[in-house]
Structure 1
Amino acid sequence: MVLSWYTEKKQTVNSKEVTSQLYSTLKVLASASLGVLLFSLLHLPMPWLLGPIFSVMLSQLTISTSWSWPKPFRNIALIILGAAIGSSFTLSAFANMGHYLLYMLLLNVILLLFCILLALITMKLTGMAFMTALTASIPGGLSQSVAFAEEHKGIELGSVTYFQIIRVLSIVSIVPFIVSGKLNVAPVEIEATPLWLLAVYLLLAYGAAVIGEKLKFPVAYFLAPVLVGIAVNVAGIQPIAVPDSLLHAAQLAIGAYIGLMLKPDMIKLPWKVVVTGLTSSIILLAFSYCCAMLLSRMLGLDIVTSFLSTAAGGMDQMSLIAAALKVDATVVTIFQMFRLLFIYFVVFPLLQWLAGFFSRKEELNIQR
């Protein structure tokens, strides 16, 4: 996958540019590795994820040079993560889905209403158009929200991109610090899987991810391997343990990718937009924590699992944090998957209708 990425690059640019691209990637790898080392020495939570996020982000914002991290690195990391979480799914986890369904629906409806309120406040403070503020405030998938903004002329793409990226960065960066002091979960020892079986399992996960991408699965490189893991468990095959070393490498790859999201030019947006984006992300995080406390009491889940289930981060990022912290990643994935599907099949169609409504209204005003 990575080799094909560089091959495609080589077909369109000369060898000098390919060398420059490779050098940029090595700089990101060095920065990410330094972040892991510093976070480990300082005994900070999740050094393999948070270390690369902060070190790469600060490097990009402070050092004026080219930075590059091939998307296939991130995709391979998502395959490893999805395979690890999929192998932990059990039949009892599916039995609980029916029990969780009403709570998941209520949580997402409440979240949607709260985000509409945030959008109205954002519109007042920044002067954004309502559709821009709403698209920026809804915690949908980053790529999907940006793609939606690109398709509609009345939506300001730069502001939506900044809001969505700063939300992901805030949640992924802050949540581990909040939950690390609340862990009270004994890690479960799983028998090591033979190397050949692990290799077959990961190859199946990779094949499923490629097919899932062609079928337009949401977060295909994560979700398809999860489904492979579920199928393996349903088939009665022994649980396949993904080694911590692979999970660490996956965290580093995803952390470097996230760290590069915040581009220097985004800070050049109007200061009201920059400050409001960061503030709304923190408010949304606080709201999610309140929902997590209620969920913990109603369902008897530990607060860490509840918070990761309700936090408005990406499904892959929240599941990654759950896997790294050794809490119940299956519950987190179920809640995050439901939120993702709710956004795709309820919220985005609603946004589409609203965009059309405002567009028709603007055309009528022009005609008058």
Structure 2
Amino acid sequence: MHRRRLTPTRQQLRWTVLVLLSIVLSIAFDATGVPAARLLGPMVAAILMALSGSDVSVPRLGFVGAQGVIGCLIARGVPVSILSTLSEHWLVFIVGVLAVTVLANALGWALSHWNVLPGDTAVWGSAPGAASAMMIMAEAHGSDVRLVAFMQYLRVVCVSFTASLVAHWWMRSSGAAPAAAVSASLLQPPGDWGGLLATLAVALGGAVIGARLRLPAGGLLLPMLAGFVLQDFAHIHIELPPLMLAVAYAFVGWTIGMRFNREVLRVTLKSLPQVLAAIFLLILACGAFAAALVRWAHVDPLTAYLATSPGGADSVAIIAASTPVDVPFVLTMQVLRMLFVMATGPTIARTLASHLHRRKHRV
């Protein structure tokens, strides 16, 4: 009888390289004190492999489950006191949500007006948050989903890196210590096994149901809402051990990073400088608005910066959880803007696209 040789497949080898590279980069980022190292390491590793032509097929179920875990992370960070936070800062939240949304859509309109990107694609791609929801809606309205995904996830990458660097710089200059969750050992056991089982049921079950129902960003929103109920009304502790969070961060980072493969880069290479310029202009404009919050609303600088960062809510939640900020304020602003964008995104995109279409026909 001949023994069959167990040789690894190409995908298995690529997965091995991806995991090892993610670990090395995460340790390197962590050693330099950059927040959210466990998100940035896998993200950079995936980008490097995708650009080198060594794409890895990240299971959609893994990403959906990771979104569920991040949804529970947001629910834990925004307790029932969100109502008092809203009543205390309602004007700040309204102005913040509207300002970032208007800025982002204005830049999307400009990219479309200058023929950098076709039709309403630039408008969908510029929506500040809910990247997966914007892709679903854009595809349903006939836009080029590859370009929308490219713009959305390029912004997420740029915002993640700039927010992490700003947080790192701020903590060093102010002498603030990073949140304890970052330095926790990956092998630290759960403090509440019952809470862990309930959290897993909410995170994974809610994410799968949200995805099956094809709700925009359902994999994040449904577990987040269920997490609120679990924590604030059923009084069950949301237990998120460091290892579970690290795996979720990795799947989010890999999914984002793998969007930047050679094929997408070929399609978008011509528009890349203008899109990057628009993204960094948006980040600077949001930073200016954060400075206004510091001056007139007396919000601390790092909290204001993360609260006004233009998406996505999941990556900003990860950074906020690893920095000494007012987490409920940051996450409330991010979640409100995500819900507002999801509710108004289709109408805004259609209105701006029809305006551009009429204008071009007149010319």
* TM-score, structure 1 normalization: 0.80
Superposition map of 1:1-368 within 5 A: 19-62=9-52, 64-123=53-112, 125-129=114-118, 131-153=120-142, 155-183=143-171, 184=176, 187=179, 193-235=191-233, 237=235, 239-269=237-267, 271-325=269-323, 327-355=325-353
Please give the alpha-carbon distance, in whole angstroms, between the structure 2 residues aligned to 1:299 and 1:241. Answer: 33
Deviations 1:185-225 (A, max 9, x none): 67479996322332233223322333333444442232222
Please give the alpha-carbon distance, in whole angstroms, between the structure 1 residues aligned to 2:250 and 2:26. Answer: 8
Aligned CA distance change for structure 1 residues 360 and 57 (closer, same or farther; 3 Å): same
Q: In the alignment, is the contact (CA less than 8 A) between 2:121 and 2:147 conserved in 1?
A: yes
Percent identity over paired residues: 23
Indicate the structure whose relative CO is greater, using CA pairs within 8 Å and at least 6 residues apart.
2
Please give the alpha-carbon distance, in whole angstroms, between the structure 1 residues aligned to 2:97 and 2:202. Answer: 33
Please give the alpha-carbon distance, in whole angstroms, between the structure 2 residues aligned to 1:116 and 1:85. Answer: 26
Kindly provide the amino acid, as one letter, of the partner of residue 46 in structure 2: V
Aligned CA distance change for structure 1 residues 304 and 173 (closer, same or farther; 3 Å): same
Aligned CA distance change for structure 1 residues 236 and 73 (closer, same or farther; 3 Å): closer
Q: In the alignment, is the contact (CA less than 8 A) between 1:296 and 1:302 conserved in 2?
A: yes
Q: In the alignment, is the contact (CA less than 8 A) between 2:125 and 2:151 conserved in 1?
A: yes
Please give the alpha-carbon distance, in whole angstroms, between the structure 2 residues aligned to 1:186 and 1:177. Answer: 13
Match of 2:3 in 1: none
Kindly provide the amino acid, as one letter, of the partner of residue 329 in structure 1: V
Report how far residue 357 of structure 1 moved: 6.5
Kindly provide the amino acid, as one letter, of the partner of residue 85 in structure 1: I
Kindly provide the amino acid, as one letter, of the partner of residue 310 in structure 2: A
Once superposed, what is the RMSD of the aligned Cα atoms?
Answer: 3.3
What residue ranges of structure 2 are gaps of 5+ in the alignment? Answer: 1-5
What residue ranges of structure 1 are gaps of 5+ in the alignment? Answer: 1-15
Q: In the alignment, is the contact (CA less than 8 A) between 1:27 and 1:67 conserved in 2?
A: no
Please give the alpha-carbon distance, in whole angstroms, between the structure 2 residues aligned to 1:48 and 1:127. Answer: 34
Aligned CA distance change for structure 1 residues 71 and 27 (closer, same or farther; 3 Å): farther
Please give the alpha-carbon distance, in whole angstroms, between the structure 2 residues aligned to 1:75 and 1:219. Answer: 9
Please give the alpha-carbon distance, in whole angstroms, between the structure 1 residues aligned to 2:178 and 2:286. Answer: 25
Kindly provide the amino acid, as one letter, of the partner of residue 150 in structure 2: Y
Aligned CA distance change for structure 1 residues 217 and 295 (closer, same or farther; 3 Å): farther
Report how far residue 294 of structure 1 moved: 1.8
Aligned residues: 346
Please give the alpha-carbon distance, in whole angstroms, between the structure 1 residues aligned to 2:269 and 2:108. Answer: 17
Q: In the alignment, is the contact (CA less than 8 A) between 1:25 and 1:69 conserved in 2?
A: no
Aligned CA distance change for structure 1 residues 61 and 161 (closer, same or farther; 3 Å): same
Please give the alpha-carbon distance, in whole angstroms, between the structure 2 residues aligned to 1:38 and 1:219. Answer: 31
Please give the alpha-carbon distance, in whole angstroms, between the structure 2 residues aligned to 1:308 and 1:43. Answer: 17
Kindly provide the amino acid, as one letter, of the partner of residue 210 in structure 1: V
Please give the alpha-carbon distance, in whole angstroms, between the structure 2 residues aligned to 1:163 and 1:137. Answer: 7
Match of 1:5 in 2: none
Deviations 1:228-265 (A, max 9, x none): 33223323626444222322232222222222121212
Please give the alpha-carbon distance, in whole angstroms, between the structure 1 residues aligned to 2:264 and 2:298. Answer: 41
Aligned CA distance change for structure 1 residues 57 and 101 (closer, same or farther; 3 Å): same
Q: In the alignment, is the contact (CA less than 8 A) between 1:29 and 1:256 conserved in 2?
A: no
Report how far residue 53 of structure 1 moved: 1.3
Deviations 1:105-124 (A, max 9, x none): 22232233323432354246
Please give the alpha-carbon distance, in whole angstroms, between the structure 2 residues aligned to 1:291 and 1:127. Answer: 26
